[in-house]
Chain A
Amino acid sequence: MRFGLLLIFFLTAPARAQSMLQNLNVSAAVDLVAPMSLDDDQTNKLSPRSAEVLLFGPIDDTFDGNLNIAGHSYDGKFQFDLHEAYFSSSKLIPQSRFRIGKFFLNIGRLNGVHQHDWPFITAPKVHREFFNPGNSALQAEGAADTGIEYTWLLPTDSFVDLTFGITNGYCFGHCHVEGQRPPHPTAYLHATTFVEAGHQSGVLLGASFLKREDSSHTKTELYGIEATWKAREGKTLRWLLQSEVFLQSQSPAAGNRSEKIGFYVYPQYGFSDRFSGGLRIDGYSHLNLKFESTGEKRSDFDYAVVPTLTYKTSEFATVRLAYSHAVDTTQGSGDTRDRQFQLQFVYLLGAHPAHDF
């Protein structure tokens, strides 16, 4: 009997493997950008910002797998790296899903979405500074790490999702090397709820909290809220309103605690299912910046206004044009302006995974 079962198992193995292979999805995404700065022409060129190859699909009846290899332009060279690699399941534990591996942390709105899927070209300053510090506005994407993330859909009448995550914490955001062992892993919490606002319209609201301590004992706490409203008319996304606000408190082992706050708000109107226009407004401030010599409080506010036009020939090809007018106003220093036009071409090959709301 046992021999018979084994024989059946081995004889059907190629068929099962074939079935799994048929369910394997292969996708690629290429993101080309051309910044045209009015203040600094050193980076004015068309170049591939990122190129991703994504494999995803069921591993077996219980688990799904995801492998994402992405290349980015860095220091004049194009380098491929492991972007995401995780397995996940929504079948093992009722009302729950989890993933284990390397992934973009599910906190806030933008951090969980790949750069080429954003509704605008560059990261708002708040996202860049809190999730990818040290990277340029054009390159900044988000914070990815290796760990475990568990999401629980609460058994309530309304939709409430709670996500808990614990990751290694060796690196957060932009790192040139993996980094050193921190005293504690990075931990985060993200709660979201969805509210229907009529036929083909709804709002996703969320709140995030992240806590980490790096290897040099700098403690970081991040608090955030987000809102995304979408209103459709037929196939057309008539209105999109997306906004996030984050407050970061950071205490180095030796040195003063810093508190920074930032936000962006992006309303977008869809003229048709292919053509849309939006205006992003960013704000960012170091709340307790001080003059070095006297210790007096120093006002600091940075803002940007980014009108953006998007044309999609289909969901697989996007052309985007934006103008970014960013101004850094720090008391006692002259205003620093960064004005640039940006052109973006994104194309997707193959089946692209579905996105959350």
Chain B
Amino acid sequence: MNSKSLILVCFAFVISACGGGQNPDVEAARLLPASQAIGSQKLEVLEGSATLLFSNGSLTGNGLIRFADPLEGAETANNFSMTFSLDDGGSITLIANANRDLTGGVEFEISRPNGSNELKVKARTTAGERDLSSALEGKINVAQEITLWFDVHNDHSDSVHVVAWNQASGEELTEDVVPGKGVGASWGLRLQGGRVENVSRSEARDRH
């Protein structure tokens, strides 16, 4: 291949590849009512439509919801920011890299046991579970609104690398590796006695 051919091949790559076009995932999200959202993240209710309550961009009650705008792919690394408060005995589970029905994903279960002032956090996949609670002891005031950041690196070979930060202090709370991986590009929440004020996702904070 001479140099002229090589330049032509490069040029062909540049002009032919394009990330535009229709995106049914985004279109589906756009059709949802603006009120059916946490913050600006529109969502679909999978379970508990009778008990979940939307109010000024927040969500309370018991149920299972899937965010309408999926992740870029199953094998991706993402950061999730969640502002929430928990009732006594309540729990909120953030589910990432899951199937459309939110099975087969990477789960962060955040709970407040009855009568306790401590948060319990477990990270799990279908292949294993890690209890991250000890790293949060004495660092989170459960009586207040809490904002946590979670990194879910579902792009490693055999396991999920997870990292959690306390947004208030900017402190890294814990980092661990959970056996197994999430299998899809959907993400959502399971609520059982809590209020979620805001949720967002972005590129993974931890880069390596």
Contacts and interface: CB of A to CB of B under 8 A. Distances in A.
B50 interface: no
Given A175-B159, A267-B1, A301-B17, A215 B28 contact: no
A153 B17 CA distance: 43
A96 interface: no
A174 B185 CA distance: 21
A293 B13 contact: no
B157 A134 contact: yes
A332 B25 contact: yes
Given A136-B207, A252-B183, A332 B157 contact: no
Contacts of B183: 252, 254-256
A262 interface: no
Interface string B119-142: 000000111100000000000000
Given A267-B6, A332-B26, A327 B17 contact: yes
Contacts of B159: 175-177, 179
For this complex, into which size category does the number of interface residues on chain A fall?
Answer: 35 or more
Interface residues of B, number: 49
B161 interface: yes
B99 A255 contact: yes
A195 to B, nearest CB: 19
B148 to A, nearest CB: 20
A138 B161 CA distance: 19
Max count, chain A CB within 10 A of own CB: residue among B19, B21, B155: B19
Interface in A278-295: 279, 281, 283, 286, 289, 291-294
B11 to A, nearest CB: 10
B206 interface: yes
Contact of A254 (B75, B103, B161): B103
Nearest to A285: B17
Contacts of A177: 159, 177
B18 A335 contact: yes
Nearest to A250: B75
Given A291-B23, A294-B24, A332-B24, A42 B157 contact: no
Contact of A180 (B23, B72, B179, B184): B179
Interface of B: 1, 6, 9-10, 13-14, 17-26, 28, 70, 72-75, 77, 99-100, 103-104, 125-128, 153, 155-159, 161, 177, 179-181, 183-186, 206-208
Return the 7 tightest CB-CB contacts between A and B, nearest first. A332-B23, A255-B183, A134-B156, A216-B180, A216-B127, A329-B19, A292-B70
Given A177-B177, A330-B19, 18 more contacts: A133-B155, A134-B77, A173-B156, A176-B161, A179-B179, A215-B158, A215-B179, A216-B128, A216-B181, A254-B99, A292-B185, A293-B24, A293-B25, A327-B17, A329-B17, A332-B19, A335-B19, A335-B20
